[in-house]
Structure 1
Amino acid sequence: MSDRNVELIQKVDAQLGETPLWDATRGLLWWIDIEQPTLWQLDPASGAAEAEAHPGTYLGSIAMTRSGGLLAARDLELVHRAPQSREWLPFARTPGEAMPATRLNDGRVDANGSLWIGTMDNGLAQGLGGLYRVDPDGTMTRMLDDVIVSNGIAFAPDGRSMYFTDTRRHVTWRLGLDETGREITSREVLADYASTGIRPDGACVDADGCLWQAFFAGGQVVRYAPDGRIDRQISLPVTNPTCLCFGGRDHKTLFVTSAFKFLSPEQLAAEPLAGSVFAIEGVGQGVPENLFAL
């Protein structure tokens, strides 16, 4: 499928746009710029957008809560904002890790209402990071070690497996979960791009149990069938798509964030839309985001 199916919905220069989440209650798309730490709120119907700058060095990811609030990862800390409030309050801090070596990165909420979120090596080279499960009481439990850049967290519709990517190892895994959905019972490679250098990035799952993933520096998003075959590829007008989610009416719109990070001056001149947000219609049926049980 070509980029003729891709619509620009927000022209913006995000250094590292990430974590789009569809807020079905408000009809809004939330997303962030990690390295120019900013929380964005976009109304795709009107084009109205609001930006909220955050303190700290990085805004790693966000999650929506069952109370209607937001959870945000700042550096190695999770902060919470209640509905209708502009005040962010401390919620949890990643145990045993320190800035500036690591920071929180990609995360997603499971069907139980817990947040699974990873840390990463800010130098993009060593396995200093890990994967954590964050329970509603703020307890953070380390589930995996030896991660360079945690990414691509997504949950199968049945809740019995999840996907996890280490972008700088170029590998995406399928992790089996126990009947409670709280413990990892198995780990198998879904896709290994170590020999090609492809950088699998953010991901989401559709109603058919297929995994959609952005290829950073690869200029496309792809869909994996449950057996691991890529059965759909969509080209984008930017080199660095970063993450994606389904939303819009009936969750049939695929929203994609992007980044201008790592692009040369020549590439930036050739890609005026780098860092913008895109929408793709008619490619699949999404499912609503799970909400953190705060």
Structure 2
Amino acid sequence: MNNQKTTPYAVKLFADQSLLCGEGPVWDADSGQLYWTDCGGEAIYGKGKHDGTARLVLAGHHAASLVMHELGGLVFSGRDGFFHWKAGAAPRLICNRCGATDVVNINDITADPYGRVFGGQEAFREGEPYDTGFLFRIDTDGSCTVVEEGLHLANGMGFSPDCGSFYLVDSIQRAVYAYDYEGHTGSIKNRRILIQLTKNDGLPDGMTVDSEGFLWVARWFGGGISRYDPDGKLERTIIIPAAQTSSLTFGGPHARDIFVTSAAQYWETPLAPAGHDFSSSRGGGVYRISQDIVGKPEYKAKI
């Protein structure tokens, strides 16, 4: 990243874990707690302001990403599709088929202002021929639509504050795409590259959007999170003591805390920056950064 501005902040360990692949952090403002997944360990965790340590809230289900549901509980995505889970009940399958297409290997998800849920596939398989994946939209009646294709490893998503733009990461392409978004129909169109990372930057992973319309992107193999203005220009980078920084979200009482997940799994790959030290501190914990920028609350699912 040329001319990058590195901003010093106090980065504190929020949950001291060794998650194989920490992902999908989401803040529940109603209860004042954070939820996140261990995508590699088939687990969802939670921690509130009065909890000393993280607690396991759901085990035995592959969960790659989370959004809050308006009626309570969480919507999660994974290898078997989309599910809704509430405490005390078994997860309810929302969708695993879209016409003739299997809705499988769903990675990151996000809810839109109308309560629909978007979820993208992880089609990439290292060392193997692979088909490019889809981006699905689940409407509030549970119906499914393919809204984009040609994705390799769909990752973080978000909306501009005016809801005129939809953003989507494709990690393997090292790109953050911007689309025109139509709220009444849930359609996206006019894909363009807003941010293009280089190999030395690492892989863009999870992302979120703040109240000023800036995009925050976690950089796997990059050991940090970066903030970009709405035109795609790098504004700042915050270093995280974990090379495999995976995702992030805003939270806390005033939406000024940033929670960042990371991954302990070992993945030696030519996709990493040249000379990357795979024996370095990869991660596995969840971090908290208190700063002055206000986040934009994530929308809740209504499906």
TM-score normalised by structure 1 residue count: 0.90
Query: Residues 128 and 187 from structure 1, CA distance in 2 versus in 1: closer, same or farther, beyond 3 angstroms?
Result: closer
- 1:92 to 2:95 alignment: yes
Once residues 179 and 204 of structure 1 are traced to their aligned partners in structure 2, the CA distance between those partners, rounded to angstroms, is: 18
Letter of the structure 2 residue corresponding to residue 275 of structure 1: G
Is the alpha carbon distance of 1:231 and 1:162 closer, same or farther for their aligned partners in structure 2, counting shifts above 3 Å?
same
1:154 and 2:163 are equivalent in the alignment: no
Q: Point out where structure 1 has 5 or more consecutive residues left out of the alignment.
A: none
Structure 2 equivalent of residue 281 of structure 1: 290
* Equivalent position of 1:259 in the other structure: 263
Which residue type is aligned with residue 153 of structure 1?
M
Question: Residues of 2 paired with 1:40 and 1:260: CA distance?
Answer: 16
Aligned identity (percent) is 27
Count, aligned residues: 288
Change in Cα spacing, 1:221 to 1:107, as seen in structure 2 (3 Å) is same
How far apart, CA to CA, are the structure 2 residues paired with 1:269 and 1:147?
30
Q: Which amino acid aligns with 1:108?
A: T
Task: Give deviations 1:52-81, integer Å, cap 9, x for gaps.
Answer: 45435x322121111112112231322212
1:4 Cα shift?
Answer: 5.1
Of the three residues 35, 54, 58, the one matched with 1:49 is 54
Matched to 1:93, the amino acid is N
- Could you tell me how far apart the structure 1 residues matched to 2:50 and 2:279 are? 29
* 1:195/1:72 CA distance change after superposition, 3 Å: closer
Deviation at 1:129, TM superposition (A): 1.2
Which residue identity does 1:280 align to in structure 2? I
Closer/same/farther in 2, CA of residues 47 and 216 from structure 1, 3 Å limit: same
Question: Which string of whole-angstrom CA distances, capped at 9 and with x for unpartnered residues, describes residues 236-272 of structure 1?
Answer: 10101100000001111010000012357x968752x
- State whether residues 76 and 98 of structure 1, in contact with CA within 8 Å, keep that contact through their aligned partners in structure 2: no
Cα separation, 1, equivalents of 2:278 and 2:16: 14
CA contact (8 A) 2:182 2:188 kept: yes
Structure 1 CA distance for aligned equivalents of residues 181 and 297 of structure 2: 20
Find the partner of 1:105 among 84, 102, 107: 107
CA distance in 1, matches of 2:117, 2:81: 13
Match of 1:172 in 2: 176
- The equivalent residue for 1:68 is 72
What letter corresponds to residue 109 of structure 2 in structure 1?
Answer: G
Superposed CA RMSD in Å reads 2.3
Q: Give the match for residue 116 of structure 1.
A: 118
5+ unaligned residues in a row in structure 2: which ranges?
Answer: 1-5, 269-275
Contact 2:227/2:236, CA 8 A, preserved across alignment: yes
User: 1:208 corresponds to which residue?
Assistant: 212
- Which amino acid in the other structure matches residue 94 of structure 2? F
CA drift at 1:3: 6.0
Instruction: Calculate the TM-score normalised by the size of structure 2.
Output: 0.87
